[in-house]
Amino acid sequence: MSEKPLHGIMKSFIFLLPVIFYACNSKNVTLSQLKKVENQLEGLREAAMAENRIPRSITKEGNIRWIIQPYDWTEGFWPGTCWMLYQQTQDEKWKEAAIAAQKLIEHHKDLTNDHDLGFIFNNSYGKAYRITGEEQYKKVLIDASNALITRFNDAVGCIKSWDVAGNWQAERGWKFPVIIDNLMNLEMLFEASNITGDSLYRNIAITHANTTMENHFRPDGSSYHVVDYDPETGEVRSKVTAQGFADESAWARGQAWALYGYTMCYRYTKDQKYLDFAEKIADFILHHSNYPKDGVPYWDFNASDIPKAPKDASAGAIIASALIELSGYTNDKYLKNAKHILNTLSGDAYTAKPGENQHFVLMHSVSNFPSGNEVDVPLNYADYYYTEALTRWLMKRTE
Ligand code: GLY
């Protein structure tokens, strides 16, 4: 054998050393971040088990804010987080915590008065099924999917987000409000079709995604929060906001839901138009002049008091998780952005000191700025998507 090929191999090896080092090192960093998450959430697990309740945030007085009945769109995130920690650690205590929490919400599976069933059940029972493979969790997902599709309207081509009669939505004059967040409920419907073999759920999901693509977005790839439809004709009545700074602004978490939503639609359909759209949304977010250097957005891209406006760590975590999945279908630039966001979230500016923050991991999220509800607080869904993003990073797969 001549020396030349060996020389070539050596050269390649030396060239690859930084890449190998980076890969190993970044895996260790992610592992240590996940360990920090587990250590911090242990305190929340103990409190939740003792109270037999589901944590949501912290109160103005600094106590744990628990989920309050009759139901709450965030109630699936805590069991989902416990399932992810079980997946990573194989420690039965996390499985027990997940099961205890999701038992508290199981009876909500048949609710037909709200669209959040996907958020609630896909992230709890759905994670349970995908992580354990246990058949018992399937029925809950299918029941919740059947309840969710009762809200689909053929004329509109969407699932109604909020009921109007007797609620604050009536004061806004809405008839059939659909919010951008609703894209996230579609994942459960895609799963329901995969489980049952019945394409009904998937077809509804695709129709909703297509209608939303047509009506919810501006030419620059940003989205409105609420589109109100005429339920008889399907015509768009108005494009406005509920949780954003203004009707024409880009509410940060809404942009995050849109990015995650179309990336997820591509996962289930392999339809190129969803992937192209997800990239367009990603480019809107990442290249916006008000997108901060640290990668964690202000609560609204058009808030009037930037740079003093509160940041929203939950939006940052959702964007990071979505970008990791997107990078698997496209290219590594999104992975770099995701890692940058995760590094920021893992630093002292966003990660609480051990035992502080009522044992939630992340600080500085915004739930609903216009109503003054949960501004600059920890949120169970910020921790959920942060944990999911770290897990995705580590496992280099999407679920
Ligand atoms: N409705 C979900 C959110 O507030 O983002």
Structural element, H or E, at residue 236: strand 236-240
pTM comes to: 0.93
User: Is position 383 annotated as part of the catalytic site?
Assistant: no
Q: Single out the residue of 139, 144, 94 nearest to residue 121, CA to CA.
A: 144
Cβ < 6 A, ligand 1 pocket: 73, 181, 243, 253
- pLDDT by residue for the chain (399 residues), tens only, comes to 334 444 555 555 554 444 444 444 566 668 889 999 999 999 999 999 999 999 999 999 999 999 998 899 999 999 999 999 999 999 999 999 999 999 999 999 999 999 999 999 999 999 999 999 999 999 999 999 999 999 999 999 999 999 999 889 888 999 999 999 999 999 999 999 999 999 999 999 999 999 999 999 999 999 999 999 999 999 999 999 999 999 999 999 999 999 999 999 999 999 999 999 999 999 999 999 999 999 999 999 999 999 999 999 999 999 999 999 999 999 889 999 999 999 999 999 999 999 999 999 999 999 999 999 999 999 999 999 999 999 999 986 544
Residue 195: C-alpha distances to residues 5, 72, 124, 188, 321 (Å): 51, 26, 16, 10, 24
* Atom number of ligand 1 nearest to Cα 257: 5
Structure-token pair, residue 150: 């009762």
Cβ neighbours around 227 below 10 Å, total: 27
Who's near 366: CB < 8 A, 6+ residues apart? 253, 299, 310, 311, 312, 314, 374, 375, 376, 377
Alpha-carbon dihedral of residues 214, 220, 221, 226, nearest 10 degrees? -60
Domain ranges, ordered by start, for the chain: 26-397
Atom 4 of ligand 1, residue of closest alpha carbon: 367
User: Which overall architecture, per CATH, does domain 26-397 show?
Assistant: Alpha/alpha barrel (1.50)
| Residue ranges in the chain assigned as alpha helix (H) | 3-51, 77-89, 92-105, 117, 127-132, 136-149, 168-171, 186-196, 200-215, 252-269, 272-286, 313-329, 333-345, 380-395
Between CA 81 and CA 286, with CA 33 as vertex, the angle to 5 degrees is 85
Cβ neighbours around 328 below 10 Å, total: 17
Cis peptide before 219 (omega within 30 of 0): no
In this structure, are residues 116 and 73 in contact, taking their beta carbons and an 8 Å threshold? yes
User: Is position 163 annotated as part of the catalytic site?
Assistant: no
In this structure, are residues 40 and 386 in contact, taking their beta carbons and an 8 Å threshold? no
Query: 114, 116, 312, 383: which one is catalytic?
Result: 116
Residue type for position 86: Y
- Distance in angstroms (rounded) separating the CA atoms of residues 200 and 45: 38
Atom 3 of ligand 1, residue of closest alpha carbon: 181
What is the SS3 string spanning 330-392?
CCCHHHHHHHHHHHHHCCCCCECCCCCHHHCCECCEEEECCCCEEEEECEHHHHHHHHHHHHH
